Structure 1
């Protein structure tokens, strides 16, 4: 849900969220890791993706690369919902693997925790198709000097 109160403010927030979804969709890395970002409310982001054998390590389960990428992205975009002028940079990220996953639909749920000025903190978790948590993480994100409006993908999702 957009922020309550002023309808123009709510429309601006929703427009920013759609533009963030467009930015995510435009990232070249997502050609390797097919996924979809959805933002429905300030401070939250959800990414869905399918785990297949293409991301397995030698023991036949999803490599930690996919865990980190999706946890970082979900937390990052949850935090960037609060910042409409600048691209954020990940300055630190801690993650915990709680269960291996071999295949199926996985959801990364991101949630802003604190900070609004220079440094923001957000957390995320991965949930498998059965609803069980398979990983979680916490990240710190800093405002960069890169204007969002100058990034080619920052616009309506494609």
Structure 2
């Protein structure tokens, strides 16, 4: 299902100019109409370089029907 962003906050906590980044996200809460999620981004040395959290709402549109996402 396609989701729409209600709000999203990003915190950039450490500079990075090269190397591999890894992101870990999780669903914090979900009800019939919204999803609350958070994620953190880590550098190659496993130091947190950023964090974000957001609230999303379900769209009535299937993801495969959205331009650029279909197979």
TM category (shorter chain) comes to 0.7 to 0.9
Alignment size in residue pairs:
70
Q: Does residue 136 of the first structure (1) align with residue 37 of the second (2)?
A: no
Query: What are the equivalent positions in structure 2 for 1:99-114 lying under 5 Å apart?
Result: 99-114=14-29
Contact 2:2–2:62 (Cα < 8 Å) also in 1: yes
Deviation of 1:154 (Å): 4.1
Give the structure-2-normalised TM-score: 0.85
Q: Which runs of 4+ in 1 moved over 4 A?
A: none
How many Å separate the matches in 1 of 2:32 and 2:63?
A: 16
CA distance in 2: counterparts of 1:120 and 1:110, whole angstroms: 13
More strand by share: 2
- Of Structure 1 and Structure 2, the greater helix share is in 1
Show structure 1 runs of 5+ residues with no match.
1-85
CA RMSD of aligned residues (A): 1.5
Partner of 1:96: 11
> Where does residue 153 of structure 1 map in the other structure?
69
Larger RCO: Structure 1 or Structure 2 (Cα < 8 Å, ≥ 6 residues apart)? 2
TM-score, with structure 1 as normaliser? 0.41
Deviation per CA, 1:125-152, whole angstroms, max 9, x where unpaired?
Answer: 0100000000101110111122224236
